[in-house]
Structure 1
Amino acid sequence: MDVDVAILGAGLAAGAAIEPLRAAGLTLAVLDKSRGVGGRTATRRIAGIPVDHGAQFFTVRSADFAETVRRWISEGTCFEWCSGFHRFEDGAVSSPRDDEIHSRYACPRGMTSLAKDCFRSVNVLHDHLVTSIRMDANDFLTECENGQIIRSKAILSTLPFPQGQKLLGSFFDEPNRFALEFIRVDPCLAAIVELKGASPEWKGIQTSQDDVLTWLGADFSKRTPAPLRRFVVLHGSSAFSQEHLEGDLSAAGRLMLEHAGRICPTLREADLVQVHRWRYAKVSQPLSDIPYWRFLNSAPLYMAGDAFGRGNVESAWLSGATAGVQLARELQSAGAVRLGTTRRGSDSPSTQ
């Protein structure tokens, strides 16, 4: 398959890059190892009820992202969930602090709705695990585990940074390695539990004073109409998640639920439903001063995602959108567009 741009990953950063790249008349191949889109803006369905086990919410600080969020709100994709979260500090749960009051947004059908909106007119190549990338003259050859090879003039990697770093290892010469070595991404275990007692008054609890948990989220409060079963999502601390990353997930989940019961007594009677392992979950050290990375001394090779900016959902979207604009400009100025203004081929409308 020959395209202008191969995009690695089908998360929110990749989705944000789609519009400027297609507007420039570029042909695309979006490759993802999974069967769905969204990456860490992930939603599972349990008994038909959506449950966010990845990113729990998002905030809006930039004008560009705000414009997109206004459209999402008007279309029912997302809504203002709350204006602040409770805190667990000094052994007690307290109300949101005044200096932390601002809008937090969520999606009634799950956080993966954001990526689904971005990819609604793009045919993502699912079950395409990329195993190697090499150069052939001025083109990139991206090889997948299933044997398919994508030839492209450019690559945009939106994979979690450690995965992209490993895959693109041969391109990490000294200047690139030095610039990106600061980035750190931590793991996170996510436990989904079912509430049996009274519903809590909070939408979410954040804490840095528990050695097991950092987050308790009333996922059921995002759903309209109110679901028949009420699920709460627990996120483990980086240290706890790292310690139990390769161990028994059920045992780790029980420890998480035990600590949740200490923070919120109504969770003492909750049932553990599922535990998910996020190997690359939270960007603890992003590159905050640049929106993406264009590899030095190479053909058009870009990295984008939440490793750039503030390390959150908005940063992922802004990074992808900005990288998409710049990559389109570079290919157009170099006269590298393969198929002029056509938008058919690998980015044809999907039936998903």
Structure 2
Amino acid sequence: MNPDVIIIGAGLAGWSANRELEKHGLRTAVVEKSRGLGGRMATRRLNDGRADHGAQFFTARSQSMKQTAKEWEAAGYIRNWSNGFIQLESLDQKQHFQGDGHPRYVGRAGMAPLMKNLWKGKTIEKETKITAVMPGEEGWQLRTDTDQMKTRAVLLTAPVPQSLEMLQNVPGERRWEEDLSSVRYDPCLSVMIEYEGESPLKEPGGIQTKDPRIQFVGCNYQKGISDSCVLTVHAEGDWSREHWDDSGEAFAEELCRIAGPLLDRKKVRKLHPKRWRYAKPVHMYPDRSRSYDSPYPLAFAGDAFGEGKVEGAVLSGKDAAGKIISLLQ
């Protein structure tokens, strides 16, 4: 039996949408192009260590997200890392913690394990890339390299450029192309640093900087997800764009050099580079989601809508699901 809604993307927006749709009795299918779940809610094992190399933490400002965080915390999925981080104007400054009272939540074993817990019990078509979304006689047809799927409605949660690419062959007026054309993302080059001995960072192990090259440095041991010291360094968007075509080895070495004032270079054991092409929405769609009723029900959601970030992705998925429900009635 064909599902009522196919959700493209098994990240937080997809999870939030799926939960809402199933609450209303709709049959859903979830398709994910990657081997893992969660998109930038990503964690990697590194020898005896572990590192979150995408999203480092999340906050809960809205009442809806506070309730969701409370549920996750009660289930043992997340914990409060800290109520603020070290703030540095430059990397050679002395480290001083600055709290603001707002919890920074993390997955107890990392962000990817959080996503596995959230999706537990749901069958997801992983390693399945949608090559085209096309209107059929009675609904949408989704094509992969090897198969086709049919559904009454589609909810796209991938980065907007990737979602638009799937719809490029829809005939007639494609209003979404103009509506979403202003959405822009910064890339992010990242390096995970296996570090010998104790962390070089002061408690709580997170640094936000105003350096034009590096935006965040986090210690996964102090965060509580790693048995050894593994640091994650995220570059700023402009720097990442400038060095995007560098080899992984080259930009990892350069980020480690830039972060030098925070480190003892002799204790750096190994570097692991990571690229995120659509890391941070810098020009977002103002509403929490965008939906269309023609040719068939269609909606876009993700962290490029509304509030953005992790919280925005959760709220966006729920909002998009509500619009799909209305269109299917």
TM-score in terms of structure 1 length: 0.86
Q: 1:126 matched to which residue of 2?
A: 126
Q: 2:231 matched to which residue of 1?
A: 232
Q: 2:263 matched to which residue of 1?
A: 265
Cα contact 2:108–2:114 (8 A) shared by 1: no
Cα contact 2:160–2:180 (8 A) shared by 1: no
- More displaced stretch, 157-166 vs 52-61: 157-166
SS in 1 for 2:216: strand
Cα contact 1:257–1:272 (8 A) shared by 2: no
Task: Give the direction of change, closer, same or farther, for the CA distance of 1:188–1:23 in structure 2 (3 Å limit).
Answer: same
Cα contact 2:87–2:209 (8 A) shared by 1: yes
1:173 CA displacement? 4.3
Unaligned runs of 5+ in 2: none
Give the Cα separation in 2 of the matches to 1:174 and 1:156: 16
1:190 CA displacement? 1.4
* 2:319 partner letter: T
* 1:111 partner letter: M
* 1:299 partner letter: Y
- More displaced stretch, 152-161 vs 294-303: 294-303
* 2:208 partner letter: Q
Cα contact 1:182–1:286 (8 A) shared by 2: yes
Give the Cα separation in 1 of the matches to 2:223 and 2:107: 7
Cα contact 1:284–1:311 (8 A) shared by 2: no
Cα contact 2:206–2:218 (8 A) shared by 1: yes
Deviations 1:45-67 (A, max 9, x none): 12254310100000001111111
> In the TM superposition, what are the counterparts of 1:258-297 in structure 2 within 5 Å?
258-262=257-261, 264-266=262-264, 269-287=267-285, 289-295=286-292, 297=294
Q: Does 1:210 align with 2:212?
A: yes
- More displaced stretch, 156-165 vs 51-60: 156-165
Deviations 1:255-305 (A, max 9, x none): 00011112x134563233311111111111112x31101036431110000
Q: 1:342 matched to which residue of 2?
A: none
Deviations 1:6-63 (A, max 9, x none): 1111111101111111122222221111111111111111225431010000000111
How many residues end up aligned between the 2 structures?
325
* 1:79 partner letter: R
> In the TM superposition, what are the counterparts of 1:76-155 in structure 2 within 5 Å?
76-90=76-90, 91-97=92-98, 100-145=100-145, 147-155=146-154
Cα contact 2:79–2:106 (8 A) shared by 1: yes
SS in 1 for 2:182: coil
Q: 1:201 matched to which residue of 2?
A: 202
SS in 1 for 2:176: helix
Percent identical: 32
SS in 2 for 1:103: strand
SS in 2 for 1:133: strand
Cα contact 1:87–1:94 (8 A) shared by 2: yes
Give the Cα separation in 2 of the matches to 1:182 and 1:103: 32
Q: Does 1:304 align with 2:301?
A: yes
Cα contact 2:135–2:295 (8 A) shared by 1: no
Cα contact 1:87–1:205 (8 A) shared by 2: yes
SS in 2 for 1:159: coil
Q: 2:254 matched to which residue of 1?
A: 255
1:314 CA displacement? 0.5
* 2:276 partner letter: W
Deviations 1:226-273 (A, max 9, x none): 61x2100011111222223233111110000011112x1345632333
* 2:221 partner letter: F
Give the Cα separation in 1 of the matches to 2:198 and 2:48: 22
Cα contact 2:212–2:239 (8 A) shared by 1: no
TM-score in terms of structure 2 length: 0.92
Q: 1:245 matched to which residue of 2?
A: 244
* 1:51 partner letter: A
Give the Cα separation in 2 of the matches to 1:175 and 1:323: 17
* 2:105 partner letter: Y
Give the Cα separation in 2 of the matches to 1:9 and 1:187: 19
SS in 2 for 1:92: coil
Give the Cα separation in 1 of the matches to 2:36 and 2:174: 35
Give the Cα separation in 2 of the matches to 1:270 and 1:296: 54
RMSD: 2.0
Give the Cα separation in 2 of the matches to 1:232 and 1:19: 34
Q: Does 1:71 align with 2:71?
A: yes
Give the Cα separation in 2 of the matches to 1:102 and 1:10: 27
